[in-house]
Structure 1
């Protein structure tokens, strides 16, 4: 997933926000809503960091000269909330399927100029069609672009997907992004997970429906959601479920 800043490809003197249809604060509100939902559902609330008055002190135009972003985007990054990076392979801070967060509030000026931070660990192909600013690009593994969304719409969809549990977080595993059908199924009619074929992997339909049922049983997405109980119940379910591989 990548946020396009089309102006970064133009002259370094270009600093206008005209390419972006929304204000900085509207983007911040949309991303904050998304992070609030994920920290309510599964990410520790203590992992969410909100910018101090005046923004993150390490993110300044002079420290981002080699970053290749417009002044508008640098100012946006300076005031965004961030989620503390989880331990490698812990999946603790995932906000989407195989999508980990990047905490710009702790990036040094040297790191802002690095090729790895600007381009990511896998360099995307350069023969794609141009992408306008204010666009979120959805990439499949190995950098194959799939589709593009307006940024505000993208984060609104993420919020709704977590509320309805189309996206399902599972401690120790990648976020599930598989099933469009989010209807609830009573536990009495759910298949016995012990009877399913382990060769189908952990994300067989039976498991996904059970996991969704567990979260809803513990109150999600209501104000009475019992987060710690839900996460323990999900972890316990995965421990007693047979499967042949881990994703």
Structure 2
């Protein structure tokens, strides 16, 4: 079993924004945040995880690899099997979480892969004991390691280790050989990660490293496949990132056009006054499939299940879209229709 991820998740320095050890002292295996009860119940945490994991299946994760526990949690994740790596309340949470099968090659973040604990056997858990003199931090101060579950393991420099703090309901993102970021509420962390994917700040590339495009600006000139393929440098140049961004923007514009046509058809049935021109692409590609077309109709804007369906449809188009670059670069790209 791939315990390298667990080992990678073992030792991290406290984030620079956290209070110094002299302010909040940790006692081995105990919670020192002063919280008498967990912020979230195990079932509440499981629901938060499941909602986000379902979103990931619209990207490069395969829905068939998503494993949902039976009522009561994973029967193989017991104290006898999981200790000393995961025990107590952390185990109660971990055994109720959904997981992606370890055979999945998708990454949740930059050089970061989710851990599939239900696939571990007893010896796998016993090969590494995380209970050592490591300080784990929460927004409340230092928290004992018995309340920490590593949910994703990073690899190489700047790969992301993701730690779940089950008592304070937070996730800490740790950059290998770099620094720890401040802990964030579970809901907020996953909402932020979802937004990063939706706004193309993170771009999943099957078989390759997830693209981080936090500071990449839209290019004025069109980039061709020939320019990308002819590069001498390895994958992940600025040109690669810009091409991926442009391709996905075009792809979502295509999805917007289909949604627009469908909306026109529905509007005509209800004698709705139609616009004189079609919506155009904006700097925010996600709006292409969710907002642009809405302002052209004096009808209620999509919400709830309808909005979810529109978002899912756009993701589905993106997932199945391919071009000549798919084999060469592993990119899901399309061309906006003439």
Return the TM-score normalized by structure 1.
Answer: 0.71
Q: Take 1:40 and 1:95, find their aligned partners in 2: how far apart are those partners?
A: 13
Q: Which ranges in structure 2 are unaligned for 5 or more consecutive residues?
A: 1-7, 13-24, 144-164, 256-285, 290-310, 332-338
Q: Is the 8 A contact 1:38 1:162 kept in 2?
A: no
* Corresponding residue of 1:160: 195
Residue of structure 2 aligned with 1:81, choices 69, 90, 98: 98
Q: Is the 8 A contact 1:28 1:79 kept in 2?
A: yes
Point out the structure with the larger helix share.
1
Change in CA separation of 1:73 and 1:200 when aligned onto 2, cut-off 3 Å:
same
Residue of structure 1 aligned with 2:224, choices 192, 208, 226: 192
Change in CA separation of 1:80 and 1:182 when aligned onto 2, cut-off 3 Å:
farther
Change in CA separation of 1:26 and 1:164 when aligned onto 2, cut-off 3 Å:
farther
Q: Which ranges in structure 1 are unaligned for 5 or more consecutive residues?
A: 241-247
Deviations 1:117-159 (A, max 9, x none): x48xxx9x94786644433222222364344323332122112
* Corresponding residue of 1:223: 312
The structure whose RCO (Cα within 8 Å, separation 6+) is larger is 1
Q: Take 2:49 and 2:217, find their aligned partners in 1: how far apart are those partners?
A: 23
Structure 2 matches for 1:72-221, cutoff 5 A? 72-86=89-103, 92-115=105-128, 118=130, 126=134, 131-132=142-143, 133=165, 134-142=169-177, 144-180=179-215, 189-192=221-224, 194-195=226-227, 198=231, 201-216=234-249, 217=251, 219=255
Number of residue pairs aligned between Structure 1 and Structure 2: 224
Deviations 1:154-182 (A, max 9, x none): 12211221222211111211111232458
Aligned pair 1:65/2:88, yes or no? no
Change in CA separation of 1:28 and 1:108 when aligned onto 2, cut-off 3 Å:
same
Q: Take 2:181 and 2:40, find their aligned partners in 1: how far apart are those partners?
A: 24
Return the TM-score normalized by structure 2.
Answer: 0.54
RMSD: 4.0
